[in-house]
Amino acid sequence: MALIVKDKDVVVPGEILADDLGFIPGYGTHRMQNKLMASRLGLVNIEGKVIKIIPLAGKYLPKRNDIVIGRVIDILMGGWRVEINSPYSAMLSSKETPEFIEKNEDLTRYFDLDDYLVAKIVNVTSQNLVDLSVRDQGLRKIRGGRIIEVNTHKVPRIIGKKGSMVSMIKQATGCRIIVGQNGLIWVDGEPAKENIAVTAIEKIENESHMSGLTERMKEFLENATGVKLSMDDPKGDYNGLQ
């Protein structure tokens, strides 16, 4: 078996990954004769015989059960059209709100144009029509704070293992933070602390490739805020909102 690239190598489209039929093409790869080639820019991930590519660039594509932050761009008969930092805008139906909305009621009472909201993607069709919901706990309109944009492929780094990274920033700065899978992040807190949180997030985005990120972020946050951070692993699963 001839593997041409190593695990975690950066590959570009058209690059040969392996010239052997013994490997199985995963996401972001394609086979040409007996060669396995990359079909997008990203990092190679080899798991046994499966070779896949973790993309490093590209727009956010909506996925079911993702928590996203969006902006209301239009008000329709039975709901809202929401821009979610993706090629496709999403639909939030008036049936998907926690309170019952009567027919012919003025929808701007709930969400007005240019309001930001945290929502969950409940359905994505083959034509990429996206349905949102604000029915779950913690899903709501956003008031105050600020929204920053990061590369969607860096979102897992900002969240960290089971939310360890984001909870560390919360602990240090006392800010409320919601990380949308679509690369929009809401930060709200004391102005000075808010700045530190934003700097920290930008630092993670720029330095996610260097090892020892957690330790460096801990040091940075402790220096900036003077808060001693405990490093115990968060319990339970991270749901994006806690």
Instruction: Select 98 or 212, whichever has its Cβ closest to another protein.
Output: 212
Q: How far is CA 165 from CA 29, 144, 158, 203, 217, in A?
A: 31, 23, 6, 12, 8
CB 163 within 8 A of CB 214: no
Radius of gyration of the CA atoms of the chain, in A = 21
End-to-end CA distance of the chain: 46
Instruction: Select 35 or 146, whichever has its Cβ closest to another protein.
Output: 35
Minimal distance, residue 160 CB to another protein, in Å? 5
Minimal distance, residue 144 CB to another protein, in Å? 27
Minimal distance, residue 84 CB to another protein, in Å? 12
Minimal distance, residue 98 CB to another protein, in Å? 28
Q: Residue 4, SS3?
A: coil
Minimal distance, residue 106 CB to another protein, in Å? 27
Binding residues (CB under 8 A) for another protein: these are 8, 10, 12-16, 28, 30, 32, 35, 37, 39-43, 54-59, 61, 87-89, 126-128, 156-157, 159-165, 208-214, 238
Instruction: Select 79 or 183, whichever has its Cβ closest to another protein.
Output: 183
Q: Phi, psi (5° rounding) for residue 104?
A: 65, 10
- Looking up tokens 């909506």 gives 62
Instruction: Select 104 or 125, whichever has its Cβ closest to another protein.
Output: 125
Instruction: Select 189 or 240, whichever has its Cβ closest to another protein.
Output: 240
Is the four-CA dihedral 123, 150, 236, 50 of positive or negative sign?
positive
Cα torsion 201, 206, 212, 217 to 10°: value is -30
